[in-house]
Amino acid sequence: MWVKNKQVGFTIVELLIVIVVIGILAAITIVAFNGTQNKANDVAVQSDLRTLGVKTSEYLALNGVLPVESVGQLGSLGIKVSKSSYGSHYTPTGSEGYNLIYCRKDTNNTFVFVAASKSGKVFVFQDGSVKEGVGPLVTNAATCPNNGISGATGAGWLFSNGVWSSFL
């Protein structure tokens, strides 16, 4: 009587099917994660803009003038931002990349903050609220008027080459 040796294991076809299914599930998970991450970055940028706007409005109410970034007045407000949520979208002739602009018009004490998220969306704080802004961030001469401040007397770039500028 012959007893056939039965080998236990998976065939190559079964292994390939499992690998393909795992690959498909991984791809779906990565795409879903990236969408969630972009939304989280957008929300962080909007929150930062709201904080910047409220603190600047408080400064204006207390002092009667807008803070000036060149003399560190914005820095005195104790503002912190979610650095990792910002993208680097505007690149001038040098190698710097910028993503957050403070535009102010001293003649009528109006201001906006314009920022670009890692997702590529541009947001603006204006008149007490945050909304989707007009992008891309090109120059302060174009970005400020595109987002509500024509004839801005000051514009401060706050982020360059992954390093936040002096007031943050």
Residue 27 in any domain: the answer is: no
Q: Which two tokens stand for residue 100?
A: 């957050």
Cα–Cα distance list, 47 to 68, 73, 109, 135 (Å)? 22, 21, 22, 19
Give the number of other CB atoms < 10 A from CB of residue 69: 20
Q: How far apart are CA 21 and CA 141, in angstroms?
A: 52
> Total domain count for the chain?
1
Q: Is residue 13 part of a domain?
A: no
pLDDT score for 124 = 94
The confidence score (pLDDT) of residue 168 equals 34
Residue 24 included in any domain: no
Angle at the Cα of 150 (from 93 to 168), degrees rounded to 5?
60
Instruction: Provide the pLDDT for residue 61.
Output: 93
In a domain, 145, yes or no: yes
Domain encompassing residue 72 = 35-164
Nearest to 99, CA basis, from 168, 38, 158? 158
In a domain, 39, yes or no: yes
Q: For residue 111, give the nearest of 168, 56, 49 by alpha carbon.
A: 56
3 in any annotated domain: no
Residue 93: inside a domain, yes or no?
yes
pLDDT in tens, the chain (168 residues): 566 667 778 889 999 999 999 999 998 888 877 778 889 999 999 999 999 899 999 999 999 988 876 556 666 777 777 778 887 665 555 555 567 888 888 888 899 998 889 888 999 999 899 999 988 777 777 788 888 888 776 555 565 555 555 433
Amino acid at residue number 45: V
Residue 6 lies in a domain: no
Computed on alpha carbons and rounded to an integer, the radius of gyration of the chain in Å comes to 25
pLDDT at 166: 41
Q: What are the angstrom distances between the C-alpha of 165 and each of 8, 18, 100, 131, 158?
A: 65, 51, 11, 24, 5
